[in-house]
Amino acid sequence: MAGLLLFWSAVLSAATPRVEVRVDLDPATRRLSAVAVVAATAGDLRFELHESLAVTAATAGGAAARVAQEGRDGPYRSWRIATQARGPLRIEYGGVLPLLDRRLDHRGVLRALPPMASPEGSFLPDGAGWYPRPGRFFSYRVDLNLPADQRGLVAGRLMAEETTGERYKASFAFEHPADGIDLMVGPYAIREKRAERPGAEPLRLRTYFFAGMEGLAEGYLEDSARYIRRYSEEIGPYPYSEFSVVASPLPTGFGMPTLTYLGAEVLRLPFIRATSLGHEVLHNWWGNGVYPDYAKGNWSEGLTTFMADYAYKEAESPGAAREMRLSWLRDFAALPETDRQTLAGFRSRTHGAAAAVGYGKSAMLFVMLRDLLGAEVFRAGIRRFWAERRFRAASWDDLRTDFEKASGLDLRQFFDQWLNRAGGPRLRIAEALRTPKGLRVVLEQGDPAYALRVPLEISSGAETTVHWAMVTGARETVDLAQVRADAVRLDPDLRLWRRLDAAQLPPILRQWIVAPAPRLVVAADGEAAEAARTLAGRLLEAAPREVLAGEPGGGPLLVVGLHDQVDAWLARSGHPARPPALAGRGSAQVWTDWRDGTANSPAAPVAVVSARDAGALRDLLRPLPHYGSQSWLVFEGTRAVEKGVWPAPGRRVQVRPAND
């Protein structure tokens, strides 16, 4: 979500300030001229603008106000408007915006962006200093004046819209407390559909798509309406009058109130309507309807992941849901110890390590909470949280309080251990014994111990059953009376957040992506070698150290090159050959393998990217970083045509007689 980090820390005040902004933007010249009117304030108004913009005049109640520039912080300048007069403060400002940077990848757009403009698309995100912010939370109105071939919007209700002569004009208002304003402009074709709602005005649904995307609009409109109906029934009525899907020239994936801003290339992918669209719609409840109190952590990404991405997998099949839980745990296991932050410390996804905690661990917390409370009580807690916190900032403590009221349980220990402890428990079956009274299972975990509700799969012949056991100590005995068993498996369905053992941890690309000291072998020459280095820089979060073939030891090793030279390097260095199942397929193949066949170097994890030519390597620049949870992939151009994770079923512990 764009611009949510800057000013959250307190419950909204009843005296929410207001700003009205009139924007004239010419994307061809990138010139922005604007007038902002801020309701009467007590004392001076201080705000930041991007260095490309400057205040040219200011008045208060019709009288001139004193304008001062008071330093800068990076690309942002601090301004102060001083006045003794009463009445609205009118600020005139403008300048030439930076050019839209089409080189930005998905990681680049997650970092602080400047306001950017071009005829192919303009994005002025909140936090980029393109308007005077009147306070932490505020309501607003924005009036847009654009060339006739451009369309634009901000989050809020569309109040007016017209095209006259050579200009397009539109006005938007947001009357709820807002945390910022994001402005999107482009050469859009608008499609609109109205959806009836019981007891409320019809919902205005829109797509703002580029040329060539016309055939996608109807499907996005229908699915937007479907998701809004779904979550209105699950949580409570949709809180806004409209929802728009807006194409971005950048690889963005942002959700703002009343809209989502998704990269045009992403919108063209056939699976996005069944996955990411619902996630962004749901953010209108979690994140843009109830606001995270960021000073105390961000619960909204995990809850949205749980109720959208994970819920869709549950609807698909139990196996698909388990695979998603496994991907969260594998992503977590791939993190270096130093990157395992607490969930309470998560604010936003700026890199893969943060996402493994803020999305994966957070979503798993809700899986475990629903298992503990039961589906009906959990749903009652969700609906209470929405009813109590709508359009207010809420913390993890607030969420816990509402689930306690719905369940009648004290959940402080549950939330405390998952929020405030980094990492997770390392749990194992120390022994499984057959006793005269039944089955005895001894469980061990690290100290200090977690309080865990542990599922145990009991196998007896061809039959399996699951028993849940409460474990609170570092070593604890669980006695199951009148239970006969041949073998026991710990949490086979992966319903606990924990550190998996090696039997459940095949290598995945995330281990290389987040490695603090990766090494790189370039198995290519000339143009292909340069493409290989560029791809490695895009894939890995830390700059790799390029090593010579056969150099021993070190951290995770990434090999990137062309098919023949990759095969020669693998043979020369003693590593296992290309997996037979991948050989000869697609324009590029990617695989991981922990084994190192050299006799005189310590084992180190190895990942390989092998391509047909330099162009096939360049085709991977955008898509490959998105597949960190996979062990192997086959690409045809930019499209992953097959992917998978090496199998790892986990360990069964055989039951032995107690007197052995």
Give the model confidence (pLDDT) of 437-469 as tens digits: 999 999 999 999 999 999 999 999 889 999 999
DSSP 514: T
- 332 & 400 share domain: yes
- Say if 139 falls within a structural domain: no
What is the average per-residue pLDDT within 405-427?
96
- 480 & 575 share domain: no
State yes or no: pLDDT of 211 exceeds 60. yes
What pLDDT is recorded for position 12?
39
Task: Tell me the average pLDDT of the chain.
Answer: 90
What pLDDT is recorded for position 6?
32
- 315 & 354 share domain: yes
pLDDT class of 230 with cuts at 50, 70, 90 = very high
Residue 167, token pair as written in the block: 């200009």
- 515 & 469 share domain: no
What's the domain count of the chain? 3
- 521 & 621 share domain: yes
State yes or no: pLDDT of 562 exceeds 50. yes
Nearest to 365 by CA among 401, 323, 419, 406: 419
Pick the last residue of a domain from 391, 420, 449.
420
- Say if 597 falls within a structural domain: yes
- Say if 585 falls within a structural domain: yes
- Say if 481 falls within a structural domain: yes
Please, are residues 36 and 19 in contact by the beta-carbon 8 Å criterion? Answer: yes
Pick the last residue of a domain from 420, 446, 477.
420
pLDDT class of 652 with cuts at 50, 70, 90 = confident
Please state, for a pLDDT cut of 90, what percent of the chain lies above it: 73
pLDDT class of 356 with cuts at 50, 70, 90 = confident
What pLDDT is recorded for position 602?
41
- 304 & 407 share domain: yes
- Secondary structure (3-state) at 460: strand
Give the model confidence (pLDDT) of 54-113 as tens digits: 999 999 888 889 999 998 889 999 999 987 777 889 999 999 999 999 888 766 776 779
Q: Where are the alpha helices (DSSP H) in 261-361?
A: 264-267, 276-282, 300-305, 311-316, 318-333, 352-355
Residue 73, token pair as written in the block: 């912080």
Please, are residues 523 and 561 in contact by the beta-carbon 8 Å criterion? Answer: yes
- Of 126-130, 341-345, 549-553, which range is least confident? 549-553
- 615 & 529 share domain: yes
Give the model confidence (pLDDT) of 579-618 as tens digits: 988 989 999 999 998 543 333 334 567 999 999 999 999 9
Pick the last residue of a domain from 386, 420, 454.
420
Q: Which residue has the higher pLDDT, 225 or 577?
A: 225
CATH code for position 440: 2.60.40
CATH code for position 317: 1.10.390.10
- Say if 321 falls within a structural domain: yes
- 409 & 523 share domain: no
- Say if 122 falls within a structural domain: no
Q: Tell me how far apart the terminal alpha carbons of the chain are, to the nearest angstrom.
A: 58
- 489 & 585 share domain: no
- 521 & 619 share domain: yes
What pLDDT is recorded for position 205?
98
Using CA atoms, how far apart are residues 93 and 169, in angstroms rounded to an integer? 19
Please state, for a pLDDT cut of 70, what percent of the chain lies above it: 93
- Say if 108 falls within a structural domain: no
- 346 & 397 share domain: yes
Please, are residues 630 and 623 in contact by the beta-carbon 8 Å criterion? Answer: no
For 438-476, letters b (16+ CB in 10 Å) and e give: ebbbebbbeeebbebebbbbbbeeeeeeebebebeeeeb
Q: Print the domain residue range for 526.
A: 510-644
Using CA atoms, how far apart are residues 33 and 131, in angstroms rounded to an integer? 11
What is the average per-residue pLDDT within 202-226?
97
- 482 & 551 share domain: no
- Say if 4 falls within a structural domain: no
